[in-house]
Amino acid sequence: MRKSSKDCRADRASVNSRIQAEADAAIKAPPVLSFSAQMPAYTYTSLCPDPKRRKPPVRKKVQYEAYR
């Protein structure tokens, strides 16, 4: 059975309002604090525009005990 044009418009309106509510919630959300969101795209590569971030930081070597 086909929907009437009023039903189609009501369905479309509810979908649009749900999408708009999700967009509003995303705008009000706190900013992302992950490494990839804060650093340039090519961090620690030769393509990085910031010369200070072209080489990766020195990391401590951790030695693991061999479990037998």
In a domain, 43, yes or no: yes
Q: Say if residue 43 is exposed, middle or buried (CB neighbours under 10 Å; 0-12, 13-18, 19+).
A: middle
- Total domains in the chain come to 1
Q: Is 64 among the domain residues?
A: no
**pTM across the whole model:** 0.43
Residues 26-54 have pLDDT tens digits of: 888 888 888 888 887 888 888 888 888 88
In a domain, 60, yes or no: no
Residue 61 falls within a domain, yes or no? no
Burial level of 54, CB count in 10 A (0-12/13-18/19+)? middle
CB of 49 within 8 A of CB of 40?
yes
Residue 18: which domain range?
A: 5-53
Residue 19 lies in a domain: yes
